[in-house]
Amino acid sequence: MISMLYSIVSPVLLLALPVVGVSTAYGSISGSMARSGYMRGQTVAASTRSTEAPSGAQGKTILLDVPDIVERVNQVVVNVRSLSEGGENLGSGFIVDQRGLIATNFHLITNTESRRGRAPRTGDQTAQPKLVNSVTVTLHDGRQFPASIKGYDEATDIALLEIVPSGPALPVAEIGDSDALRVGDWVIAIGNPLGLDHTVTLGIVSAKGRTGFGGQFDDFLQTDAAINPGNSGGPLVNAQGKIVGINTLVLERSQGLSFSIPINTLKAILPQLIDRGRVTRGYLGVETRDVDADLRGLYKLPPDSKGVLVVRAERGTPAARAGLRKDDLITSIDNLTITSYVQFNRIIASKAPGAKVALRILRDGREYTLNVEIMEEAKKQ
């Protein structure tokens, strides 16, 4: 079992990561340390030096300067308050453009019952949502501005606000790469839980790719950094001080189960939100589920089979026109192996309407290739 010992020098957290062995410990700190170093081969805003762990295993002591990271990132974190028919929504956000663009959660701008930072549950994803009556943004330095809704994407629970800033130039968030995160990496959550401005919590990435919360694009980062109602829309930050997630979901009656949207999800749709205010996605019209051991046994599939099982192909959709049927196993798209329904949905969604893709399927023990033309999903008004 891995054990960890905490040591505080000034207000800085020391983390000792041994190269071999299963225990971690801390050596003494002496002399000056470089302002940058390496963690798992990546440059980080921390100081490092090699040291001997008590067990004799060669280790590396890493100085994670949490106060320095927080001081820098706090400048881009904002309070978001919206008024809706259901009451007041309180949350957070962060500045992504000096012109006054702010990323936050979609559920903070919906004109429904007050959620106070909790993520929405599933509903009619094609229905046109009602938006809040007004949004107010408060910056770290106390400046307050009314905000307009520049764009939103209900499917990923992301919204883009816009303010017309006056006074000093706005700081801008430094965006990281959520795909590069590893389970066990240290992360910092910043936000306004329960209206307590700019609260900071520390934890690790507990898991990646969490699904099962009712969204077709669920791909959450799980963290044990404390996230509470009001943290919604605030940043999850890595050890380099870069934003790697958007805090969005807390499981009620649980401890250490908090979830964030990977920042790469925002990066993928941000240009569309800026240019068009909405996101255009490819549409196939098929409902799928992951293949597990039970399904492999039921359908007599090989133990190492991968893909997604077709639960339903809606009439009049590209899936139905291409000949997809219930119980077909989709194994690849354009020769790319399919491993989960979330991956499948994201690939289809990334295709432009009119694009043609080749689906490799397994049906009754035989393989087929179906050519499908992607269309855009119609939105109800």
Distance of CA 6 to the CA centre of its chain: 28
Q: Residue 110 CB: number of other CB atoms within 10 A?
A: 23
Length of the chain equals 381
Listed as own residue / partner, the contacts of 294-302 with beta carbons closer than 8 Å and 24 or more positions apart are 299/327, 299/329, 300/365, 301/329, 301/362
The rounded distance, in Å, linking the Cα atoms of 185 and 64 is: 12
The rounded distance, in Å, linking the Cα atoms of 296 and 134 is: 51
Q: Cα-flanking dihedrals φ and ψ of residue 131, to 5°?
A: -100, 160
The rounded distance, in Å, linking the Cα atoms of 20 and 9 is: 25
Q: How far is CA 29 from CA 51, 65, 178, 308, in A?
A: 10, 14, 31, 52
Q: What is the residue-wise DSSP string for 24-67? A: -------S---S-EEETTEEESEEEEEEE-TTS-EEEEEEE-HH
Active site residues: 107, 157, 232
Beta bridge partners of 95: 102
